[in-house]
Structures are given as C-alpha cells and as structure tokens.
Structure 1
Amino acid sequence: MADEKIAKLVKRRSCMKSKLTVFGNYLHTLESCNELSSLQLLDLETRFNRFGSLYDDFDKLQCDIEMLSEEPDDEGEEREQFENQYYKLVAAARRLLGARPHQSSQLPDESVASCGDGRSGGFKSNCVRLPKINLPSFHGHYQNWLEFRDTYLSLIHLRSDIDNINKLHYLRASLKGSALLIIDNLDFKAENYEAAWNLLCSRYDNKRLLVNNHVHALFNVEHIKHESCSAIRHLIDVTNKNLRALSTLDQPTQYWDTLIIHMMAEKLDSVTHREWEEHRNTLNNPPSLEIFITFLSNKADLLETLQENKSKTKIHNKNSLDTIKNHYNQPTSTKYTQNTYLQYNTNKKHNNTYKKSLTCPMCNQNHFLFSCEAFRSLSIEERRQKAKDAKVCLNCLRPGHIETRCNLVPCKYCKKKHSTLLHMHEAETTVQPSLPVSNLDSFSSSTDVLDTTTPPIVLLSTALVRVVDSKGNVHTARVLLDNGSTANFVSEFLCES
C-alpha cells in the first residue's frame, strides 16, 4: 500500500519537473531576443508571479515522499537538483524583468511588492516579498475620514499607472455602510470615477463639520472611575488623535495646552488627579501638554508594572496551592483545604457584614445586640424570641450568619450552639445539702441583686471550707457555689464570728 502511494507522489513530482522544464524553455526563447516588447514583459511577469508557488507545492510533496521512502539519500539528491534548477530560472527571469523600460503596474492588493526604483523603474536583484497592503475601509464616520482620505490618495487616487475603471473598483470596495450609498447610484464606468470621488469629498471633506466633530470627541471622552493603565492610555490616544486631526484642519492647537490639560485632568480618577495636582505644584511655570502627557504615560507604565507583578503573584500562589494539593492528594487533605477555604470566606464575609450593619435591632444604637441593656433586662424567653425576630446568630448574637456557621465559643453552661444569655437553667435533681434556712436568711439581702431573670427555684451546690481570720483563728463556714455569679458576698454573721 505504501509503494502505491509513493508511486503516485513520484508521478506528481514528475509533473512539477515538467513545469520547470517548460518555464526554462520559455526563458531561453526570450533570451534569444535582442529586445523585449512590453507585451512580452507583461507575459513574463504574469508567468513569473505564478511560478513562485511551484516551489511551495514541490517542497510539500517532496517531504511526503521522503517520509515514506526507504532511501532518503536518493530523495535528497532529487530535492537538490530541483532547487538548483528552480533558483537558476528565478535569477534568469528577474534579470529579464530588470531590463524592462518602465515599471509595471503593481496594484495595491498584490502580495508581491515592487522592489524597483521609483524613478528608473528597474528591478533589483535582491527583491523581497513584502506583506500585502490592504485598502482602507471607510464606514461614513467623520472621525476616520482624514485617515481614509490620505491613505486612499497615496495608494490609489494619485497613481498614474492605474486606470479610472480600476480606481472606481477600489473605491467601491473601500466604502461601507452610509458612505457607499453616496456613489451607489453611479454606473460602473471609467468616466464616473471622478464624479464618485468628488461626491465623496463634498460629503465628508467639510472642514467645519470635521472640526466640530473632533472637538466634540475631545469633550466627550469617558471619565476614568478607577486607576487603570488601559484607561489612561486610551485618554492619551484619543486626545493626540483628535489634536493631530485638528492641526491638519489648520486649527491653532499649539496654543491650546492649558485648555486641553484642564479638560483631560477632569477626566482622571481621583487618585491620579490628586497626584497630578501635587506634581503641578512642584513646577514654577504653567505645565505644557507634553509635560502632562509624559506624566500620564509614566503613571500608566507604573500601573501596568504593578498589575503584572500582581498577576505573577497570583500565578505563583496558584501554582503553590496546586503543588500542595498534588503532594497531599488524599481525601482528608482535600477536605481540610476545602473546609479551611470555606471557613476563611465565611469569616471574611461575616466581618464585612458587621462593619456595614453595626446597628442594634433592639434600640437602634451603634452596638451589638448582646451589649444592649434593654435586651439584657428581658427574660430568657423574651431574649430568645427577640434574637429570632432580629434574625441574628443565636450563638454570638451578631447578624450576617447562622449559628451553624459561627466560629465563636458556645454556651459556657451546656456547650451548645447558643449564647450564654439565652441559656435556659434546668433544676438539678441531685444536689448536696444546702444551707440551713436560718443561715439563708442572712443571704437574702445579697442574693436579691443577682440576675433577676433566673427561675424562682434554683438549687445550688454548697461546700464546707476552713476560713482563717486576721488573728490566725480557723473557722468552719459553708460556701454557696454559683458558676454564673459575677460578684462575691459574705454574711455579717461570718464577719462577726
């Protein structure tokens, strides 16, 4: 199967070689002439332009043959023979074209540019293939008219080697939208080209409208909201473009520096505007537009550098995180990373919420609910209901999240996810013997100042301790243990004994 494919490729290569031979015989015929006519030169130029694609086709075909062949050395000789003959023919053809009396017409859409001297019309032997020059397009916007007009005049309109019918063809191809409608009704004839170009110029080559349009563009540049290198450069480009256009329209833009600087400074963001005012205060004389443009360019370069460094840092951090994930490619590690990331974002979101909504839902003061005296004076049941109505976290009494997402400590009594202020005290079934009733009477005045929101019947633990007075005497006393108390009390009986 491979042999059959190689055989087909070799036949195609033979056809290419025959084209090479035909072109060589044609050159030999021209070389025998004493002087070439214009028709012969045009014929040679046309053949030579098509002859350039023969080598590309051969190179692709020869590569396929060499990949399939079992004897690459022989195929290398075939390539060498073809290239030697090809370049000899190219040199001979260029030599013949270099003897032409006048430069041939090179239309602007041809991919091979003329390398000859514009005055002598002769071709140079070191002719290179230049990029294709595309015709400009014009859609009917005044902002783009001057650029289109100057480019079209240079490429098409002022060329004496292009006839009017071809110029009209290029003009139609260049116009789009509303601009094309102006000449769309003209017949496609050579004598209508001048009329078409005059119609277009009379419509758009209006100095008053062009000046008004470019000035309007200067006044309507968008404001820069935040520091941005691209926005600053866009402001510079738009200003320079319109000023150049106005200068072309004979406007005295060289005296407009103060006005333009004021207009552009008003479009800057607050940070850049402040920096410009600080920079201007260091100048002894009023700044010129060139100084202002230089300042903006330096600021844009600085922002671009900072943005690149920030992007590199993000990429570095991402690569580091990917490396850690790949190194610890375990379900536990992945779960830990996800939980850590979720916890970080949750806390960050909560903190931002606290900053934005630090208003007590109870009294509308600037504090959290747990700090509100009116809230603390309520009973536990009322506190719970108020916290639910305010839609705050029942664990920390802060807004913005729920108790399952809260990272603060739970209730210090039962360790559940609710605030200590919302803890419901339950009666204990087994406790140590409490103080005698006679001794409890001495505590009645003190215990009245404790939390009034506790249940009316609370049994607390007690313990017997040994107390030493100032004289060194030891006394036995019973203490009442209350984990929620914030003050210490002693009875008068113990103090006097």
Structure 2
Amino acid sequence: MDIDKLVKQRSGIKAKLTNFEKYIAMLSSSKFISELQRIDLEGRLSKFEALYDIFDALQMEIELASANPENEYVERNQIEERYHSLIANARSQLRTSGSECKGSKTGTTMDSKSGASLKNGFVRLPKIDLPHFDGGYQCWLEFRDTFISLIHNSDCIDGINKFHYLRASLKGRAAEVIKNIDFKDENYVIAWDLLCDRYNNNRLLINNHVQALFDLEPITKESSASLRRLIDVINKNLRALKTLKEPTEYWDTLIIFMMSRKLDINTNRKWEEYRNALSESPTLTKLISFINGRADLLETLEVNQNKSSTSVNNKQKSFIIASTKENQNTHKEMINNKLENSKAHSNNLHNKLKCPLCSNDHLLYTCDLFKILPTETRLQKAKELRVCLNCLRSSHITKKCRLAGCKYCKSRHNTLLHVEPTEQPHQDPMPSASNSIALPIDTTNSVVLSADTIHHTSTTNVLLSTAMVKAVSNSGEKVNARILLDNGSTANFVTESLCAKLDLLRRKTTSTVTGS
C-alpha cells in the first residue's frame, strides 16, 4: 500500500486521540460527574481502548514501508504515550465518580458501572428507568413519589442534573409548566416547586380519582384479564384517595355496588349466589377475593383450552402437510402425463406438418416446389400423393373436407388447382363486357404482357377486371380486343398483333417496368 495513504490513516487516529483528550479535559474541569456523564465516559472509553490494535497494525505497515524507520519509531512512542495517558485519566475519572456517589447512612454505595446502589458491595441491582408524567392528575402521585425517591432526595446528583432529569421526565401539558424557566442549577428548586404547586391540588386529585372509579368500563366478555384489570383500577384509585386523606375504609358498600354493576353476566350471577350464602353484608376485601378466585379459575381453563387448541392445530398442520405432499405427488404425476401427451401431440403435429412432396416441415399448399409447378402438374401430383384436393392435406378425403372451395369458381378444389376454362367455338365472340381472370403472382415480381393476359406472380392471388371492346383502326375498321382494367396503372400497353390490326403508327422509346 502507498505509504502516503497509510500516513493519512494514522492522522485520522491521531485526530481521535485529540478529541478524546478534549473530552477528558472537559470532565476534569467539572466538580462532579453525573451518572449520565459517567455512562457516556464508559462508552467512549470502550471504543477508545479498541483503537490501539488498529493503530498498532497500521504503524507496523508504515515502519516496514518507510525509508527512515527510526523516525516512525519516535512517532509510535509519542502516540502510545498519549494513548496510555488518556486511558489512565479516563479510568481515574470513573473511579472518582464511583467513590463520590456514596449511599445514605445505611452504608449503601453506588455501583461504578450500572449506577445502581450496592449494599456491602455484593448485590448489583438493575437500572431503574425514570417515570414520565404528561399532566394527568391520576398519574401525579405515582410520578411525584418515584421522582422524589430516585432524583429529588439524592445527594449524588447536583441541581443542574436534577433539572435535566426533571425536564426529560415531563411530557405534554406538564412540560409546559416549566418550559420558560432558564436551565440553571439554582432554578431546579423553582421548577420543582412550581410543578408541585400546579399538581398538588387535593380537590382536583380527589375528583379525578373518584371520576376514574365511576368511569370503569363494564366487562362484556368473561375473561381472567378483564377481571384482574378491574381489580387493579379499583385498588390503584382507592390507594391514591387514601393518600389524599379520604376515608376509603368506609366506602365498601358503595364500591361493591359499583364493581358488581361492571361485572359480566356469569361472574355477576356467581357473585350474587356467593353473596346470598353469606350471613352478613360482604366487605370489599371479600369481593376482591371472590373476583381473584374467579380469575384464577378462568385462567386455568384458558390455559387448558389453549393447550387443546394447540394440539388440534398441530394435528391439522400434520394432516395438511400430509395432504399437501400427496397433492404434490399427484400434481407431479399430472404434469408428467401432460408432458408425455404434449410430446405425443408434438410428434403427431410434426407428422401432419411433413410435406408429402419435399418431406420438409410445412404443408403442401405452402411448399415452394409445389407452387412453381404448372396447374395441371399440381393437380396430377396432388392425386398421386393422395391428398385432399380441396385443402391439400392428407388427413382426410375430399368429400369429408369442411373448408371452403376454390376462391375463383367456388368448386371443391384448392385455389392452386384452379384451371381457367377455354373459350368454346360456338360461343359469342363478344363475351360479357366485364370478366375477371385470375392472375397468379410469382415471387420473382416480374411482369409479363401478352394479348390476352397479364401474369404477375407472387405468394398471393390478385384478381383484375377485363372487358371485350371494339377498337377502331386507322382505316375505320372495328376490331375485337380484350382490355385490362387497372385504375392504378401509369402506362398503357398493347400487343404487337393488335397494333398491326389497328394499323397504328410506331416510334421507338425507352421505359422501365418494375414490380412492386
């Protein structure tokens, strides 16, 4: 590899050293490292420690490729000194932050990695997520007590970090309460007191918790989850009301009435049967115990039902898999049969397409050798080859052919076998004024002019109209002549014999006649 490129890569590593050095200097200037900063430092340190292996391999390549390796040895020594110094400084910062965050008087210390409290240094507790509060009065007491326990009463967290945690925990309407307070160390207490003044309203808190009891959703379908959810909502709001100094211990009759109205039909019936068997009025504790027992029963039944349905589903899957395999085998057999039938059909089709005249893969009426033969010879060959004279195929006889006949005379023979009838002596020398003659078109695209017909051969047949007329010669004599009616022609032609009969004047000229 080019040594210049290696040196540029080493410069990138040195830039990372400089950035980490600035970060360590910033932490050293602070009096106290917060938990977030300590966690951030741990992440940066783990990545920075992995940087040495990359540098070592890169520096080795530079030293091998350099013309003056002594200079590179000096460069290595300088970078390694900076690296090890930064590692030592970072670990010292982590150790110092862990020792500063001491526990309360019970002898509890903070874990240097997870931030959780340790008792006697043996138990590492999981990390506790901060609660969130969006301004709902029903959640205020829970948020307030949790935040006070984790953040507000902690001596390890300074004011600015407490303020940071508070702002991160508030959402929606609650965040608007402290939105306009400047983010400073001394303003944390102001923000916390303002939030408590806003939501420590006993009258509103009581109203919201009582409203939550009345707004319980009735259970429409009997299930263990619905019954447990009902109990949880009741207990949560009653505990909150008790914290607010409400005499909830005297509310059993009211709460029992409210809860029984929210039960489903089956559970309510069972509760009335249980209640009638009691010798005295039931208490809220008995109702909750009854609902818990009912939920346990339903949960057991639901588990057994799920196991049964799972077993049935497995059997159905096994049956479906077996059926699928059988269907796949049947499908494969059908495909093989279709392939065999297709091959047989292809062979039959190949035999049908085989020309009886030249043995090539085409039908007789498309055979070029057959087309160039005179009409009489074509007819003779068709009879010798024993093909249908109407369609020129060998699969049937002429009487059973269903295709249309000749395009010219509509007779039961192919158009390629059509022969123009000759004129009889006793007929009128002047045929009808308009006749049609078949002009077979040759593939050579040549034009042949004669007194009676014009032959223009190609792969298709073209019909042009003719007429018998009386032409007047120079001497006034009328001569019978057949003319060809072609509206698209740009030149007129006449046979030499007719020119002699009409005693026409001649002069030499040159023109080119081409076929389209």
Q: TM-score normalised to the size of structure 1?
A: 0.46
Higher strand content, 1 or 2: 2
- Higher Cα Rg: structure 1 or 2? 2
